């Protein structure tokens, strides 16, 4: 995320014609984003502002979920930034959420949403469009991309700053199931969900802890608990990527140093459970980072 353009670059974009209002809005929004607080607003369409038809359907929708009970170290934060930079390309619609437990004031909430529109590359349409309109459109799209990527970076920063190991509960299953309803109903050629979480459920459904340590779960038994709780999810064929799985807080003293140890068997059992859950939820677990995500997000 550190390579994203600074706010000053976004505010400097200029355009004339029908897209001037769109670029001006983006410049004002970018200036707001540079402050200490901001509110996510719907991003305007550069094509609508220039009275042009948007080319093609939405190529990809990216959903990012950040678990505020999972604290990432600097290396994982940098890794998350690299993944987001590769995901946020033109033709992408994005939604970003934070979650924890519904009873702790850290309930599931959407932090940012928007669309990074594709450039107009069809030469026949460009040849039939006024030069003034094309310049306005191109300038607007440049500002839109800069604003959108900055919005995501600032929203992620806000979510990560709110992470804490002191939160007693973690409703991972309920939060994931809730977001799945949005994923299912989105029309896109490709749906990608990135979940930044330890994936350690600690709720009324089940707890993946024992004496404040990560326990080795029985995936089959845990999936039965999910069925008994009547918790259902449907991701509409999305690809799921996880990073941060199995992260255990660093021990505060040598006396409980073993608390942060995760056996290969316990991590594999965790992966097997979530693989089964997503398979039953019309999704594919394409990458499971425990904690680093070694699989490229495609």
The pLDDT score that the predictor gives to residue 24 is 54
Residue 252: is its pLDDT beyond 80? no
Share above pLDDT 70 across residues of the chain, in percent, rounded to a whole number: 78
Mean per-residue pLDDT for 42-61? Answer: 88
- Per-residue pLDDT band for 165 (boundaries 50, 70, 90) equals confident
Q: pLDDT band for 210, please (50, 70, 90 cuts).
A: confident
Instruction: Calculate what percentage of the chain has a pLDDT beyond 90.
Output: 65
Question: Domain residue spans in the chain?
Answer: 7-288
The confidence score (pLDDT) of residue 200 equals 93
pLDDT band of residue 56 (cuts 50, 70, 90) is confident
pLDDT: which is higher, 169 or 82: 82
Tell me: pLDDT of 220 over 60.
Answer: yes
| Other beta carbons less than 10 A from residue 42's beta carbon | 8
Mean pLDDT of 246-270: 72
What's the rounded mean pLDDT across residues 90-110?
Answer: 83
* pTM (predicted TM-score): 0.85
Q: Return d(Cα 24, Cα 30) in angstroms, integer.
A: 10
**CB contact at 8 A, 267 and 245:** yes
Round to whole Å and give the CA distance between 193 and 240.
5
Rounded CA gap, 160 and 69, in Å? 10
Q: Report the distance separating Cα 195 and Cα 172, nearest Å.
A: 10
State the pLDDT confidence band at 163, using cuts at 50, 70 and 90. confident
pLDDT value of residue 258:
56
Structure tokens that stand for 198 in this block: 């330890």
The pLDDT of residue 298 = 85
Q: Report pLDDT digits (tens) over 124-152.
A: 999 999 999 999 999 999 999 999 999 99
């Amino acid at each position: 995320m550190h390579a994203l353009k600074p706010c000053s670059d976004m505010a400097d974009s200029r355009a004339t014609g029908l897209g001037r209002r769109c670029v001006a809005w983006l410049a004002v929004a970018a200036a707001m984003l540079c402050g200490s607080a901001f509110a996510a607003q719907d991003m305007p369409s550069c094509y609508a502002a220039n009275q042009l038809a948007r080319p093609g359907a939405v190529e990809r929708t990216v959903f990012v979920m950040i678990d505020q009970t999972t604290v990432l170290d600097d290396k994982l934060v940098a890794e998350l930034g690299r993944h987001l930079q590769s995901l946020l390309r033109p033709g992408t619609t994005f939604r970003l959420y934070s979650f924890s437990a519904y009873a702790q004031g850290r309930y599931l909430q959407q932090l940012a949403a928007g669309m990074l529109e594709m450039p107009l590359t069809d030469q026949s349409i460009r040849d039939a469009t006024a030069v003034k309109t094309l310049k306005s459109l191109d300038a607007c799209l440049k500002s839109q991309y800069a604003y959108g990527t900055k919005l995501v970076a600032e929203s992620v920063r806000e979510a990560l700053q709110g992470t804490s190991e002191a939160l007693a509960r973690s409703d991972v299953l309920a939060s994931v199931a809730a977001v799945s309803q949005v994923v299912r109903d989105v029309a896109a050629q490709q749906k990608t969900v990135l979940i930044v979480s330890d994936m350690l459920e600690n709720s009324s459904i089940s707890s993946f802890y024992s004496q404040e340590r990560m326990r080795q779960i029985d995936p089959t038994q845990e999936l039965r608990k999910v069925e008994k709780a009547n918790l259902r999810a449907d991701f509409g064929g999305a690809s799921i990527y996880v990073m941060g799985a199995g992260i255990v807080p660093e021990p505060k003293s040598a006396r409980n140093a073993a608390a942060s140890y995760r056996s290969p068997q316990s991590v594999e059992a965790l992966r097997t459970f979530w693989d089964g859950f997503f398979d039953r939820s019309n999704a594919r677990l394409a990458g499971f980072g425990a904690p680093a995500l070694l699989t490229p997000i495609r």
